[in-house]
Amino acid sequence: MTRLTRFAVAPLHTMTRRLADVASGRVAPNLVISGARVLSTYTERVLGHREVWITGGRVAAVKPAGAARKIWRDVPLYDAAGGIVAPGLVDPHIHIESSMVTACAYAEAALLNGTTTIFCDSHEIGNVMDVAGVEAMLEDARQAPLSIFLTVPSTVPATSAELETAGGDLTPDKIADLFDRWPEAVALGEKMDFVPVTLGDERSHAILAAALKRGRPVSGHVYGREFVAAYAASGVTDTHEAIDRDIADDLLDAGVWVFLRGGPPTTPWHSLPQAIRTVTELGASHKRTAVCTDDRDADDLFLFGLDWVCARRSKLVYRRSRRGRWVRCMALRGLAWRTKSAGLAAAAAPISC
């Protein structure tokens, strides 16, 4: 049996004729998921009495129930027994190392919680092992049954020689090389040195340039409303460190995406309830927001996954009729934005609805 990884699915440009043949009923699909309800994120409806035609690991078409058996008698069927078929969740900002497990081990918990794609910032292992550590994580991630993309660590060492003994020093040249050699390096990791960035530090801006000249998004990490304008002007495109309503509002007005971070409720990282108030109280649009997990202890992976974050978000939002839509939008929009910039949208979500 072929190991299931994102590399087991052929690139979309090599499959378009095959997908068209299956969708048109000229060629039988590899599998039909029957007896399903399908969540359409395009029309914001749950479509009843449908079946999903799959070929080569991709969804070729969604058809009325029973359509396949009218054409092919022996097509393989999987009975969903009335369950809902929906796209997997996408976590736009996490650190695998915080969980003290490998990428493959992390995938087990993530998949059980409905997450199928993550964007991992491996700055912790980079801070210990330099480029070799980041590449070891990438090699392991390629074996996982989960789509794992890298946001290249941007602030290694995290502080200075006076405050830490770091094993890594990711210079602008090293970061540029990671972008050029690893196709899953799709964005720059969180730029934690926000004060040097806003003060125009040469090294900090050379690292930003390594990402921006390649058309990559830049993840942020900022505290203090007084830094928002200069931070956004430096090319930062998102942040998960919106710890309260007002700075979240400032960030959205500055054009910075806000990843609403849901941490275990007893930790300081559970900033979602405060940051979401920019939408629920100040009337900001949710269209440039997403949800993320950021850091998790190993013991928390099964209990506080991205599904848990979406559920917490649902309890805080306004109109019940829009809840399902917002969960889907916030979970998927970050993926679409990141992968579009890197030309990897098809590879990131090989099975989608």
pLDDT value, residue 201 = 97
- 332 has pLDDT over 70: no
pLDDT value, residue 199 = 97
- Where in the chain do CATH 3.20.20.140 domains reside? 89-348
Mean pLDDT of the chain: 88
- Where in the chain do CATH 2.30.40.10 domains reside? 6-85
Distance CA 19, CA 22 (A): 5
Find the mean pLDDT for residues 242-264: 96
| Prediction pTM value | 0.87
Helix or strand (DSSP H, E) at 217? none
Is 343 exposed, middle or buried (CB count within 10 Å of its CB: 0-12, 13-18, 19+)?
exposed
Neighbours of 36 (CB within 10 A): 24
* 148 vs 348, more confident: 148
Find the mean pLDDT for residues 72-85: 94
pLDDT value, residue 336 = 42
Distance CA 276, CA 274 (A): 6
Contacts 24+ apart (CB under 8 A), 125-128: 125/97, 126/153, 126/156, 126/168, 126/170, 127/153, 127/156, 127/157, 127/158, 127/166, 127/167, 127/168, 128/166, 128/167, 128/168
* 333 vs 275, more confident: 275
Q: Grade residue 337 by pLDDT with cuts at 50, 70 and 90.
A: very low
Find the mean pLDDT for residues 114-141: 95
CATH class of 89-348: alpha beta
Distance CA 231, CA 244 (A): 17
**Cβ proximity of 21 and 27 under 8 Å:** yes
Distance CA 236, CA 150 (A): 17
CATH number of 6-85: 2.30.40.10
